[in-house]
Amino acid sequence: MKTQLSGPPSPSETFEPYETMRPIPLGVLMIAVALALWGVVLLFDNSEAVAIGQAERADVLADQPARSDADGASLFSARCATCHQPNGSGVSGAVPPLAGSPFLAGRAEVPIAILLRGIDGPIRVRDTVYDGHMPSFASVLSDEEIARLVSYLRERFADRPAPVAAEMVTALRGELAGGSGWKGGQELAARLAPELAPQPSFALASRAEADPATMRLVNEGTNGSWACASCHGALGQGSETVPRLAGLPAGYIARQLESYLNGSRRNESMAVVARSLTRQERVALGDYYALLRAPSNARPSLGGDIARGERLVLEGVWDRGIPPCVSCHGPSAFGVAPGFPGLAAQHPAYTASQLAAWVSGERDNAQQKLMNGIARSLDDADRRAVADYLATLPPVPVAATKERADDRR
């Protein structure tokens, strides 16, 4: 530069200014090197995040199908022990014992058939008659899991150490597909195990068929709104944020429809539906869905920690003010009519969104505002864990008759 400024007195017209080569100042060089290093570190950091993400997802997937490689003992404590008790003694007068039960000691097909279809009627175990309401596990346990569970049960409670093959479950599943719960011990004994007779007879009460007007609401809708089944599905099974309705208490369903009307539960689409219904129609729809039986189509989908969810649902966290869900919603979260809905087999997105709605106030129709307080104590990871765990549970065993549904109410 200097040469140009103090250059020759008469510079040539064609002179083109130029710069000579100069070394890059050390400071600039250091900044460039630092930036490059930073880039490499970020790349490395990101690749680590990807690796962590993949590993955690693989963990979650491995966890998800209810820990699909779980052995019979852990399946028993997760699936059976809440009702049949950890020592298999059952509950006197309510839940039949597994220990010493002739249903386990006979052919292996019998316990498999019970797990696949559930029981929905009176059953005699040894000398006691129980009013059977057992859920079907067909939609939440795989063939291998049922085989492992039955092998474990037979070895532990009936001294039959021979393991059961998954192929037997597969064959039986195909054979029994589509059936509803066993109509008590009588149907079971007649079909599979005559030696278990005599079994109490199943009182064939007339199945409560909904009247044509209610069926029209369910399948075609009204002039002003849509058919229930168009969102909730033909069996009331729901999907994602559309809740499963099958097996919820009748009174609970009717009360929710009222809540949409009076605004204590906010959902614009359901408010349109509720406005188009009369009081009698709301009650009739509750009765209809309370008796509907649908296999579970819910799957853990929020990436929640299932073990944490199980702990929250079964034990709660008392020092954080979170009671166990099952203390109000009943054993196995099957619901307690009329106030407490079943949570088992509910869709995780729906469960989580409702827990959030209790906090935001979009939903404010609980008795004594119980749920508002509980939901406030749950953080985002808790919500997802609870919702995902509940999705792994078997669906509510539904009373087969109108009379039974009334008992439960």
**Which spans of this chain sit near other proteins (rule: CB under 8 A)?**
16, 18, 45-46, 49-50, 52-54, 56-58, 61, 64, 221-227, 230-231, 233, 239-242, 268-269, 272, 275-276, 299, 301-303, 349-350, 352-353, 356, 380-381, 383-384
Rank residues 299 and 408 by Cβ distance to other proteins and give the closer one.
299
Rank residues 64 and 136 by Cβ distance to other proteins and give the closer one.
64
Kind plus residue range of the DSSP H or E element containing 166: helix 166-176
Q: How far is the CB of 158 from other proteins (least distance, A)?
A: 37
Nearest to 254 by CA among 283, 294, 277, 234: 283
Sign of CA dihedral 352, 356, 362, 364: positive
Rank residues 283 and 356 by Cβ distance to other proteins and give the closer one.
356
Rank residues 200 and 233 by Cβ distance to other proteins and give the closer one.
233
HEC string of 116-155 equals HHCEEEEEEECCEEEEEEECCCCCCCCHHHHHHHHHHHHH
CA dist 403 and 380 (Å) reads 41
Phi, psi of 244 (to 5 degrees): -70, 130
In terms of residues, how long is the chain?
Answer: 409
CA dist 162 and 104 (Å) reads 12
Rank residues 119 and 375 by Cβ distance to other proteins and give the closer one.
375
Q: How far is the CB of 165 from other proteins (least distance, A)?
A: 27
Tokens representing residue 71 in the block: 């052995």
Q: How far is the CB of 267 from other proteins (least distance, A)?
A: 10
Rank residues 94 and 272 by Cβ distance to other proteins and give the closer one.
272
Q: How far is the CB of 277 from other proteins (least distance, A)?
A: 13
Rank residues 221 and 251 by Cβ distance to other proteins and give the closer one.
221
Q: How far is the CB of 237 from other proteins (least distance, A)?
A: 11
Q: How far is the CB of 360 from other proteins (least distance, A)?
A: 12
Phi, psi of 29 (to 5 degrees): -60, -40
**3-state secondary structure (DSSP) of residue 182:** strand
Q: How far is the CB of 59 from other proteins (least distance, A)?
A: 9
125 has which bridge partners?
128
Burial label for 126, CB within 10 Å (0-12, 13-18, 19+), is exposed
